[in-house]
Structure 1
Amino acid sequence: MLWRLAPMIYGPTVLFALGEGAVVPLLPVIAAELGADVPTAALVAAALVVGQLCGNIPAGWAVARVGERVTMAGGGVLALAGVAGLLLAPSLPVLAAAVLLIGFCAAAFGLARHSFMTTRVPLAFRARALSLLGGTFRLGMFVGPFIAAVLLAIFGDEHATVWFFGACLVATVALVVFGPDPETQVAAPATRDARLSEDTGEVVTGAIPVPGRAGVFRTMWRHRDVLSRLGLAAASLSAVRSARQVVLPLWGVSIGLDAQTIALVVGVSGAIDFALFYASGQVMDRFGRLWAALPAMVLMGAGFLALSVTHDLDDSAMWFALFAAVLGVGNGLSSGILLTLGADVAPQDDPAPFLGSWRTLTDAGGALSPLLVSAIAAALSLSAATGVVGVIGLAGAAAFLRWVPRFVPRAR
């Protein structure tokens, strides 16, 4: 099923991620052209994450009510309005609003396919399928900047990448609207209400109870136990991942490396991360979810802690390259974990509202992490901030060790 419908299952997310990955590195440049200083340009770029954070719960509601196809098509059209805002923005507030809208629409694509995998993919290879889904986003963020570099070399204008994003969105909407719909091509497994599964022999009078859809907030309350425990562990993983993207460039600058060396080290770390995305799914399907989550968190937590004490060493550049590679391995081994755990604990008959809450928690961890790093670095030092991220990683590892066996049993 995955091979037969791969273009429709993975194609929209690949196209969206490629366009987004090409635009993201140049958002600060576009903001600077409108008069933004460095902190303001960083805030404009951060609006993408904020938009995705705000879009998860509405996307969960939309998928549950109108389906994945309509949600993705609508998200693609709205994202085109955001692209128009990037091209025509006369001021920084308009530019920030356009970036926020694009992030809001990105949530629709991520959640729609997450919901599809949860209800359609058999448990035996769910982790591999979701690791491939996570790999599509990694592919976009890895290849997108190279596409942007080529476009800049050809046209000499950063707005060429925005036009490329717009072309990707047009292709995405066309694929979603005119291609076969996986949601109707693959039937979801039948689910029955437990109250109707036993024949007692008694005469049934009155209306037969039919399970109804729960709202987003009712779903959050009903599943507050798993969200407040395993959900917070997942948020810690998202926080460590996000901190990696901030700490590594800042660390390179703080030890006096030039931009090319920093880009090379960060690029190699990203390449290692991307190369391992499918291995994570293999491990989770064969040995269990904990066997991927725990090593990934321990590696990243220990890597950040070890990096935090190397700032003033004579070979600080060598240690920087080494631990950047370690963090790349840890992040690669964690590919698809958040998607898979969310699918495991979501209600199988109507997962979208729960997944909206789950993704909001994990995205909140990723959004708050750079702010935490910035605040600690300003108050103490970058080494202290890096060490705190390492502690969060090890605490997250302990939380996974405690809560994964409780909420995600091996046999379902």
Structure 2
Amino acid sequence: MNDTAFSLKKIAVAAFGPALLFSIGEGAILPIIALSARNEGASVALAGLIVGLIGIGSLVSNIPAAMFIARYGERLAMVWAAALSVVALILCLIPGQVWLLAVGVFMVGMATSVLLLARQTYLIEAVPAHMRARAMSTLGGTRRIGIFAGPFIGAATMHFTGLPGAYWVGIVAIFASGVLAYMIPDLEDHKPGAAGAPAAPKIVHILRAHWKVYCTLGFGILLVSALRASRQIVIPLWADHLGISPTATSIIYGMVAAIDVLAFYPSGKAMDRHGRFYVALPSVLIMGLSMMLIPATVGMWSFLIVSMAIGLGNGIGSGIVMTLGADASPREGRTQFLGVWRMIADIGASGAPAVLSAITALASLALGVLATGLLGFMAAAVFWRWLPRSKSQPQPR
């Protein structure tokens, strides 16, 4: 590869197309899963659990997904992930069976893990090291764009077809993702059965060889993921606490998401030029401080300003989880290493809402929000201690 002549535009369709289409399909169904469960007679608690199954499916599938990708290659893994999701969404359309809806949502979470891990592995190999952060932040930004656009496409379809319309949008978008993935060739050394390919190391060997990285930077990534997941709950809950209308809350949330989306490419470029440390540290500090300022807001305008600061902090850290994982990953066993890395991040994302709920129940919402804000400062301490300051680009090992 001629690094100096490389451009992300040359691989844009192959690298980001399947992820964008898949995310549009996922975004179309996310807002209506709870409504579907309630329409099938589920309680509010059960509906909330079903919504959470998409994250649980991703969490438990990271390591199996890594093993599957290592054996069959990124392209076939994405095709099978799309096929699994299409079957899952068809199950969601079957009326009168809430358990089928739960199974379908869980399967979508499993497929999401496979697709994102496959794209991350592909980009590490296809993109030169000096552009790695831009590639990873663009992958993260592509997913955010899809999740942002999907609900609008689903809403437009539901206007004519009712609630099932969102699932049909998901089926069409994810099917298109699978077709596009099928048309994309594997990298030469990632084809199934490629000549000279070394035997894939076992997960236990990866854990033994890289436990220090997982316990240091991996812990920082867990905290970042927890902080990000918390913000998605804190913003609507505190808006309700202030008496802000649902419509105004949605607009605020959309503005926060817009800042998040706009910042992803500049974030990656800054990481490539100045080093990971000089983006990761400000990102978590801004998010942590802004989160701790949330309880001090007393009206819509102060709440809007602080919420947008949270979006800015999250946006400038776009791709940091995948970039640090890519930097730390070894050449042999890379997919397995990243599977464990994603599992650590998913543990943080899954556990944070539960911790926030527990603190809120035992004390108050304000104290719960303050506690989640501290996660940002804890992550900053981890990065200050273990994230290299070097501006030189990491090389594959």
Question: What band does the TM-score fall into relative to the shorter chain?
Answer: over 0.9
Q: Give the match for residue 357 of structure 1.
A: 340
The gaps in structure 1 that reach 5 residues or longer are: 193-209
Read off the aligned partner of 1:158 and give its amino acid letter. L
2:95 and 2:211 map into 1 onto residues whose CA distance is 41
> How is 1:74-153 mapped onto 2 (pairs within 5 angstroms)?
74-88=80-94, 90-153=96-159
> Which SS does the other structure have where 1:181 is aligned?
coil
> How is 1:315-354 mapped onto 2 (pairs within 5 angstroms)?
316-354=299-337
* Identical aligned residues as a percent: 34
CA drift of 1:175 comes to 1.2
Query: Which residue among 196, 199, 204 is the counterpart of 1:217?
Result: 204
Q: Please tell me the root mean square deviation across aligned C-alpha atoms, in Å.
A: 2.0
Q: Give the match for residue 252 of structure 1.
A: 239
TM-score using structure 2 length: 0.93
Q: Give the match for residue 267 of structure 1.
A: 254
CA drift of 1:99 comes to 0.4
> Which SS does the other structure have where 2:168 is aligned?
helix
Is 1:23–2:29 an aligned residue pair?
yes
Read off the aligned partner of 1:167 and give its amino acid letter. V
CA drift of 1:153 comes to 2.2
Contact 1:56 1:360 in 2 (8 A): yes
CA drift of 1:119 comes to 2.2
CA drift of 1:228 comes to 1.0
CA drift of 1:407 comes to 10
2:46 and 2:335 map into 1 onto residues whose CA distance is 35
CA drift of 1:185 comes to 9.6
Q: Give the match for residue 237 of structure 1.
A: 224
Contact 1:119 1:348 in 2 (8 A): no
Over alpha carbons, which structure has the higher Rg? 1
1:211 and 1:106 map into 2 onto residues whose CA distance is 27
Read off the aligned partner of 1:402 and give its amino acid letter. R
Query: Which string of whole-angstrom CA distances, capped at 9 and with x for unpartnered residues, describes residues 361-386 of structure 1?
Result: 00110111111111111111111110
The gaps in structure 2 that reach 5 residues or longer are: 1-5
> Which SS does the other structure have where 2:96 is aligned?
coil
Change (3 A) 1:360 1:411: closer
> How is 1:40-59 mapped onto 2 (pairs within 5 angstroms)?
40-59=46-65
Q: Give the match for residue 196 of structure 1.
A: none
1:211 and 1:88 map into 2 onto residues whose CA distance is 44
Q: Give the match for residue 170 of structure 1.
A: 175
Change (3 A) 1:296 1:24: same
Contact 2:50 2:102 in 1 (8 A): yes
Read off the aligned partner of 1:292 and give its amino acid letter. V
Contact 2:74 2:186 in 1 (8 A): no
CA drift of 1:411 comes to 5.5
Query: Which residue among 343, 348, 358 is the counterpart of 1:375?
Result: 358
Read off the aligned partner of 2:106 and give its amino acid letter. L
- Higher mean alpha-carbon deviation, 138-147 vs 230-239, is at 138-147
Query: Which residue among 184, 189, 198 is the counterpart of 2:188?
Result: 184
CA drift of 1:333 comes to 0.5
Q: Give the match for residue 381 of structure 2.
A: 398
1:49 and 1:408 map into 2 onto residues whose CA distance is 34
Read off the aligned partner of 1:181 and give its amino acid letter. P
Contact 1:18 1:144 in 2 (8 A): yes
2:340 and 2:130 map into 1 onto residues whose CA distance is 25
Contact 2:229 2:353 in 1 (8 A): yes
Contact 1:60 1:216 in 2 (8 A): no
> Which SS does the other structure have where 1:389 is aligned?
helix
Query: Which string of whole-angstrom CA distances, capped at 9 and with x for unpartnered residues, describes residues 252-307 of structure 1?
Result: 11111111111111110111111101011011000000111100000000001111
